[in-house]
Amino acid sequence: MKLFGTDGVRGLAGKKLDAMTAMRLAMAAGIYFRAHSKTNKILVGKDTRKSGYMIETAIVAGLTAVGYDVVQIGPMPTPAIAFLTEDMRCDAGIMISASHNPFFDNGIKFFDGSGNKLAEADEREIEEIYFNLDLIQHNQKTGLDIGSAKRIDDVIGRYIVHIKNSFPKELTLKGLRVVLDVANGAAYKVAPTVFSELGAEIIVLNDEPNGSNINENCGALHPESLTTEVKKLRADIGFAFDGDADRLVVVDEKGTVVDGDALLGVLASYLDDNNMLSKKAIVTTVMSNAALDDYLNKHKIALKRSNVGDKYVLEMMKEHGINFGGEQSGHIIFSDFSKTGDGLVSALQVSACLLKSGKKASEIFGKIKPYPQKLTNLKIVQKRPLDQISGIKELESELEKLHIRSLFRYSGTENLIRLLLEGKDENLVAQKMEEVEKFFLKALNE
């Protein structure tokens, strides 16, 4: 049985992710981190879901049972946990969040002592310990060897200072009218504080979390109310975060949601113009639009593509010494300022780009027009290795001759194949998608 998915352990709180699972997982993680222990401290944070109380308590019980001291900091963004784990010299950090999922889901993400997400090999080791009941029982402590726990409420200041330091010292947000949608999530205190302290005139939406309204018709997943408010209030720009604030959606002054690839492209050229882009290259995923390639080519910036998932983006960034990358969904990584995607860092860099350009948001982000894409999720009976499907190479070759980019990949959790076609001729893309669907229905359902 596999516990970890693409981003930690996630599932329906109280069912797949119940108190027993969380406690045993914490014990397993504690045993794993013990082998590399320097300070015997583990940091634990969470978003604003009601189930966070249950899971946090279970995690604290599990960690203290195997002898770890626990520092609890309450609701904070996921990137804050990454930063504070290293800043407070902890052996590891744990974030309790299901990110953009509905409130009834929850998840557990792990960071090492340097604030990095765990590699798959590390996750496998924790899984092996989790399923080794004898090892878990043998490592439980007694007497004075049992760990302690304490809650610290003032670490938010450390993270705010860190975030503000990512903003150019010569700039101020004074005169900029900004609408913030904090999704009733982990950024509900931090985001307004950062922007107001830097001088912006702010209007804040969805900043009253009640345990069940996180991501509910708001934030990065539902920017509709943000688009309305930006236009109504004649704001310069709008920012929407998801539940754990590692993701950002931008709305220009006309109330238009900025395309994720346009955001990456403009930020890349902004960094390059200011001598802040290492290797003159960025990393994005296989899902990014070819219009981004064309834009970057004009600016002589190289683009490298990783598998889908921000941790794969970060792995490739490290491998090639690149300091900027992200996903079109809004996970953007400025590795000079953060170990993971950070919506607040991204929002401040967008603000700096806007101020230095002296133009309106719609002008600078309207430079990249995505080519038409068609994305289909197709239910299938079996997942045969794609390279063993007869005729697939010929299909891909035909699409390439028509200047249509294709991407076929299986879902990691369901019997689905995800089909992506992209080209400059929208009608041709739609026509070819019908043919592609028929091909895979026949190949994978017989």
In angstroms, rounded to a whole number, what is the distance separating the alpha carbons of residues 31 and 44? Answer: 16
In angstroms, rounded to a whole number, what is the distance separating the alpha carbons of residues 112 and 166? Answer: 22
Active site residue 51: no
Beta 281-285 vs 302-306: how paired, if at all? Answer: parallel
Structure tokens at 94: 């744990």
Q: How many CB atoms lie within 10 A of CB 439?
A: 16
Q: Note every long-range contact of 387-391, with CB atoms under 8 Å and residues 24 or more positions apart, other chains counting.
A: 389/443, 389/444, 390/443, 391/439, 391/443
H or E element: which one contains 334? strand 332-334
Q: 3-state DSSP helix/strand/coil percent for the chain, to nearest 5? A: 40, 20, 40
Point out the catalytic residue in the list 51, 97, 99, 166: 99
Per-residue burial over 278-290, b = 16 or more CB atoms within 10 Å of its CB, e = otherwise? beebbbbbebbbb
In angstroms, rounded to a whole number, what is the distance separating the alpha carbons of residues 422 and 289? Answer: 8
* Alpha-helix residue ranges (DSSP H) falling in 169-309: 190-197, 224-232, 260-273, 290-298
Query: Beta partners for 406?
Result: 421
Q: Let me know: does 212 contact 123? Beta carbons within 8 Å.
A: no
> Catalytic residue numbers?
99
